Structure 1
Amino acid sequence: MITEIEDVNNSKQPLWLQDYIDSPKKQQQLYKKTLIIVIIAQMFGGAGLTAGITVGALLVQDMLGSESVAGIQVAVSTIGSAGTALFIGWLSQRFGRRAGIAFGFFFGGIGAMGVVIATLINSFFLFFVSLFLYGAGTATNLQARYAGTDLATDKQRGTAVSMAMVSTTLGALVSPNLVDIMGEFADSIGVPTLAGPFILAAAAFILAGLVILIFLRPEPLIVSEAIANAKEKKGPLRTVQSNLEKPIINRKGFVIGITIMILTQFVMIAIMTMTPVHMKHHDFGLGEIGLVMSLHIGTMYFPSIFTGPLVDKFGRTIIAVASGVILVISGVVGAFTPPNSIMFLSITVILLGIGWNFGLISGTALLVDATPLSIRAKTQGSVDVWYALSGTVSGALSGWVVAYSSYAVLSISGSILSLLLIIIVIWFSRSQIK
């Protein structure tokens, strides 16, 4: 941590930090190293995230015996995600990315272990507390994408976010297809079948945290802020703890970015949460549900390899509008899909994943563009609170909508909100807000 920094022209920074300030080559090397570490951690994090997504709603339905409460799993875990996102952002701003991200992954792992224990002793209280802690893993998976942007240039930010996210694909694709295997393993050790994937989630989150804690050195956020301040020659360098002058946020970019992220999250969570429940209601097995969900989760993350460069080349708002168009089509397909057609259900969730991916990366790039380094991590944590809360409301409402109407009504509602997203993005992008 930086504890003693004098004027830029009479520098007294630690030697290791001064080396990075003076050497663009070392800066580029650290940028690449940071991306590699984040990519490895995200592979494990993706497995932890998707294990719970695949069977969480089914586990709640099984424990509480009602389809209308199936969305509570996502609601509770995303409340946990919201609560921890702010703390992870604060930790990252004060102590660096390594502390914040590692903490979040470890808490997610503890939550997953708690879910398994709760099912063993049939404790609803422990179950929901554990889901809350499990949400920390979700928040961290999202916050980790920011670490790759700290040393990225304006023209690299979309690509940096995409590289951090695409690495989640491996875990995201593998994890849902291990549902049957983990269920059998759970049976063999006396744990309820549906709790099996949470055993995988616990191990995956803890491994992700260890990768970050051990290897994410030096801190990319500290280095990037020191470099930025040295270039600007504004006098005393700010550290990650200090804030000597009021930072200026680009309001227009901030508002558009957060709007894109929140609305795409709301639509995606609603339809994703109820798809496994809808499939189970129409007699699909766990293997088929796992396959469809792996396609969805894979397309949430794998397109990032293309999305980031597209965002950097064609602009943030164009890709955001494309996100809204894809989500509209996804909702329409979902509404008119025959309930026994695994092919059209797969198309629905594939489009849902791609639309969410476009929205998250374009929105994230706008958010990073709009916030100065001195408050970036803290601001990102605050934004992710609202991002998670949108998922909380969406997850809770989705079960109620399906229980009292239908999956088709839920899908059409998603299309309407996605159309609203397109209108809002176009209006704000043409406004005079600064």
Structure 2
Amino acid sequence: MTAAGAPHPSQRRTLVVLSAVQALGGVANGVALGVGSLLVAQVTGREELAGLAATLLTLGGAGLALPLARLAHRRGRRIALTAGALLALVGTVLLAVGGALGSPWIVLPGFLLLGGAMAVNLQSRFAATDLSQPSRRGRDLALVVWMTTIGVIVGPNLIAPGDALGTALGLPHLVGAYVISGAATALMAAVLWLLLRPDPLLESRADAPAAVGPAAQLRLRDHPRAVAAVVAVAAAHATMVGVMALTPVHLEHAGHALALIGFTMSAHTAGMYALSPVFGWLTDRVGPRATTLLGAAILLSSVVANLLLGPDLAPVGLALLGLGWSAATVAGSTIVAGAVVPALRPALQGRSDLVMGLAGAAAGAAAGPLLGLAGYGGLNLAMLPVIATVAVAAVLATRRPGDGAGDDAPSSGRPAARTGRRVP
């Protein structure tokens, strides 16, 4: 049993293992997102379908969110996260085979299964909080998110070398990148299975086994602040996916080569993860409302940059897009992580990832037709009401129950000790 207020002795090891997993998952997802829209356009012969790559990837991650959360509730994080990584590995095999055969009927299901890597990355951020002290919850979550930076910067820049490797192996254009993605996913599964011991979720229940109940008892209407936090995260994710998904196609239309496309996606994914520890610190110190509103403001600045700057400066707008996503996601996820009792957390977290994934999938699906009808500028303008939703939901998610006042206090747990209300 851990002494009150003391860090759990297994937390450091848990954070190290989850950080390694995030880096490997970042490579897999970075390659997939960087070249996915181009691969779909290549195998289907229809550029208007290019957004299906991001759509199916996020839809696959969303579809796996609840099953993996239920599995975590029953068997723990290690088994659930390993299962997600193995499904993603099958997805990379389908992508390589389907790309080699030029078959969209094999490639498209591959993106769905590769969503397992996205589901693992998303649920790993919650696993990082299983053993956290309330006053460090935002920073622990953000540390694991930050480690994805390594993979997502390296991943897109492996597109061109991977393509060269594939060509040397006799594979068609773009397919070789998924050989690299598959190797990273296999390593991710091995690290989870062998090293995520003790299981953080099961360990968190050791001090209060009586508190563990069936995940089905969760009723979202009992947790309005958590619901608002889920909406804020989902709206930020929809903004990010909607703009990001078609940026490679926009740049290709402008005559740019794979090198600039890869650099632009690296700038974007670096923005998503590189400053997450800063946003975690802000969440713990100045509160989730201010941090999420900051994220909404940065998302707005991304739209402005994409409208005013030419394709040569696309990395600027895409980096800002990633930064805004990071601030909103870290702050909103921290609220979700502490909004309910431990027994209900996997269920709430799974539903949060489901809504987040569905919002991203819808935005990715809409991005292709929007690009065709209104161009890249019109696609960015369409994100303005979604960004407004981020800001409104952030305010609702941080209101104190019963008094109508904004709750922008740090998530240290100290207000709960004075008022009896639980502040995540």
Fold conserved between structures, TM > 0.5: yes
Letter in structure 1 aligned against 2:224: K
Letter in structure 2 aligned against 1:380: Q
Within a 5 Å distance, the mapping from 1:80-159 to structure 2 comes to 80-159=60-139
| Structure 1 Cα separation of the partners of residues 27 and 232 of structure 2 | 26
Residues 293 and 391, structure 2, Cα contact 8 Å, conserved in 1:
yes
**Displacement after TM superposition at 1:141 (Å):** 1.0
Residues 328 and 416, structure 1, Cα contact 8 Å, conserved in 2:
no
Structure 1: unaligned runs, 5 residues or longer: 1-20, 230-235
Question: Which residue in 2 is equivalent to 1:40?
Answer: 20
| Structure 1 Cα separation of the partners of residues 104 and 26 of structure 2 | 26
Within a 5 Å distance, the mapping from 1:4-403 to structure 2 comes to 21-22=1-2, 28-227=8-207, 229=208, 237-239=210-212, 242-243=213-214, 251-339=223-311, 342-343=312-313, 345-403=314-372
Residues 96 and 175, structure 2, Cα contact 8 Å, conserved in 1:
yes
Letter in structure 1 aligned against 2:275: P
Letter in structure 2 aligned against 1:318: A
**Displacement after TM superposition at 1:104 (Å):** 0.6
Letter in structure 2 aligned against 1:237: A
**Displacement after TM superposition at 1:26 (Å):** 8.8
Aligned-partner SS, 2:134: coil
Matched residues, number: 402
Residues 228 and 396, structure 2, Cα contact 8 Å, conserved in 1:
no
| Structure 2 Cα separation of the partners of residues 164 and 431 of structure 1 | 29
Q: Which moved more, 1:263-272 or 1:60-69?
A: 60-69
**Displacement after TM superposition at 1:252 (Å):** 3.1
Q: Kindly tell me: are residues 26 and 366 of structure 1, through their superposed partners in 2, closer, same or farther at Cα, counting changes over 3 Å?
A: closer
**Displacement after TM superposition at 1:354 (Å):** 0.3
Deviation string for 1:208-239 (max 9, x for gaps)? 11101100111111111222x2xxxxxx6245
Question: Which residue in 2 is equivalent to 1:233?
Answer: none
Deviation string for 1:242-267 (max 9, x for gaps)? 44996687623212210111000000
Deviation string for 1:92-135 (max 9, x for gaps)? 11100000111111111110111010111222211111111111
| Structure 2 Cα separation of the partners of residues 62 and 362 of structure 1 | 38
Residues 336 and 408, structure 1, Cα contact 8 Å, conserved in 2:
no
Q: Kindly tell me: are residues 95 and 333 of structure 1, through their superposed partners in 2, closer, same or farther at Cα, counting changes over 3 Å?
A: same
Residues 327 and 414, structure 1, Cα contact 8 Å, conserved in 2:
no
**Displacement after TM superposition at 1:192 (Å):** 1.6
Residues 332 and 415, structure 1, Cα contact 8 Å, conserved in 2:
no
Question: Which residue in 2 is equivalent to 1:415?
Answer: 384
Q: Kindly tell me: are residues 104 and 199 of structure 1, through their superposed partners in 2, closer, same or farther at Cα, counting changes over 3 Å?
A: same
Letter in structure 1 aligned against 2:118: T
Letter in structure 1 aligned against 2:261: I
| Structure 2 Cα separation of the partners of residues 247 and 296 of structure 1 | 36
Deviation string for 1:149-196 (max 9, x for gaps)? 001111111101111111110111111111111000000111122122
Letter in structure 2 aligned against 1:260: A
**Displacement after TM superposition at 1:86 (Å):** 1.1
| Structure 2 Cα separation of the partners of residues 155 and 223 of structure 1 | 19
Letter in structure 2 aligned against 1:313: R
| Structure 2 Cα separation of the partners of residues 170 and 392 of structure 1 | 25
**Displacement after TM superposition at 1:335 (Å):** 1.7
Q: Kindly tell me: are residues 352 and 244 of structure 1, through their superposed partners in 2, closer, same or farther at Cα, counting changes over 3 Å?
A: closer
Question: Which residue in 1 is equivalent to 2:408?
Answer: none
Deviation string for 1:359-386 (max 9, x for gaps)? 1101100101212110211221122111
Aligned-partner SS, 1:370: coil
Q: Kindly tell me: are residues 23 and 204 of structure 1, through their superposed partners in 2, closer, same or farther at Cα, counting changes over 3 Å?
A: same
If the length of structure 1 is used for normalisation, what is the TM-score? 0.88
Structure 2: unaligned runs, 5 residues or longer: 403-420
Q: Kindly tell me: are residues 428 and 91 of structure 1, through their superposed partners in 2, closer, same or farther at Cα, counting changes over 3 Å?
A: closer
| Structure 1 Cα separation of the partners of residues 215 and 159 of structure 2 | 51
| Structure 1 Cα separation of the partners of residues 382 and 279 of structure 2 | 26
| Structure 1 Cα separation of the partners of residues 68 and 364 of structure 2 | 23
Aligned-partner SS, 1:29: coil
Aligned-partner SS, 2:129: coil
If the length of structure 2 is used for normalisation, what is the TM-score? 0.90
Between Structure 1 and Structure 2, whose CA radius of gyration is higher?
1
Q: Kindly tell me: are residues 126 and 251 of structure 1, through their superposed partners in 2, closer, same or farther at Cα, counting changes over 3 Å?
A: same
| Structure 2 Cα separation of the partners of residues 363 and 390 of structure 1 | 15
| Structure 2 Cα separation of the partners of residues 421 and 176 of structure 1 | 28
Letter in structure 2 aligned against 1:407: Y
| Structure 2 Cα separation of the partners of residues 322 and 25 of structure 1 | 30
Aligned-partner SS, 1:195: coil
| Structure 2 Cα separation of the partners of residues 136 and 381 of structure 1 | 13
Report the identity percentage: 27
RMSD: 2.0
